[in-house]
Amino acid sequence: MISSIRLVNWRSHADTRLEFRKGTNLLVGMMGSGKSSVLEAISFALFGTFPALERRKLKLGNLIRLNESNAKIILGFSWESDTYTIERILERGKSSTSTGAKLFKNKAMIEDGTTAVTSYIEHLISMDYDLFTRAIYSEQNNIDYFLNLDPRRRKQEIDGLLGLDKFETARSNAVSVIGRIKSKRQAIEQHFDRTALDEMK
Ligand SMILES: Nc1ncnc2c1ncn2[C@@H]1O[C@H](COP(=O)(O)OP(=O)(O)O)[C@@H](O)[C@H]1O
Ligand SMILES: [Mg+2]
């Protein structure tokens, strides 16, 4: 369960601390007050990215509060009987923005580095960013995504979600392997006499 988040210079947030409780938590605020930014920060803390960043609608530099040089997200959560804290930082550089991450388990640091932290989280919660954005996290105006797809696309998406698309890939690969073996056999049949071929069989 996600227990708290602190946002320092993340988007419009100068220094925001939120505590979450068991059950449903609602964020209420005027348009532009920074609600979506909180959800994006949760995704970024866990996986180092979120949909608008993936779509390149936003760059890393846009995530740091205007006129500030760095940003920090501190996400606290519990998993089984342990408490974890993820710290992600963004640092505005001359030509690009760099990122860093640290993961603490029961206050002791256990991972350092963005990829190390992301992969630890993926293993811990048995979920990667892909599954997270398809099954857990829904962007504003995207909650009806599955409902608005035509049935064929919906089946494809659900197959992808459940990992069933692998079987379709295997099936079509098998068809092309069979085709290749058949044409090899034909080539052999053309170049060898029957008795030699019977021996080969
Ligand atoms: N890097 C930034 N620095 C300052 N303000 C920002 C930055 N990025 C976004 N904002 C501001 O944050 C607001 C958007 O917040 P958002 O989380 O989408 O609000 P909500 O979801 O509550 O409507 C906008 O007013 C936008 O101008
Ligand atoms: Mg919003």
Cα 100 to ligand 2 centroid, rounded to whole Å: 26
Mean pLDDT taken over the chain: 92
pLDDT of the residue at 141: 67
Domain boundary among 143, 174, 189: 143
Q: Which of 5, 10, 11, 28 is the best mutation target for the ligand 1 pocket, counting ligand atoms within 8 Å of the beta carbon and taking the most?
A: 11
Provide the CATH number for the domain around residue 137.
Answer: 3.40.50.300
- Quick: pLDDT tens for 80-92: 999 999 999 999 9
Domain boundary among 104, 127, 143: 143
Lowest mean pLDDT among 12-16, 43-47, 108-112, 167-171: 167-171
Same domain, 92 and 148: no
Strands (E), 37-96: 70-79, 82-92
Same domain, 138 and 164: no
- Quick: pLDDT tens for 127-176: 999 888 877 887 776 767 778 889 998 888 788 777 788 898 999 999 99
State the pLDDT confidence band at 197, using cuts at 50, 70 and 90. confident
Ligand 1 atom nearest the C-alpha of 40 is 17
Domain that holds residue 161: 144-201
Domain boundary among 143, 169, 188: 143
Same domain, 31 and 120: yes
What is the torsional sign of CA 100, 105, 109, 113? negative
Same domain, 114 and 155: no
- pTM exceeds 0.95 for this model: no
Same domain, 75 and 121: yes
How many structural domains is the chain composed of? Answer: 2
Cα 41 to ligand 2 centroid, rounded to whole Å: 13
In 10 A of CB 114, how many CB atoms?
18
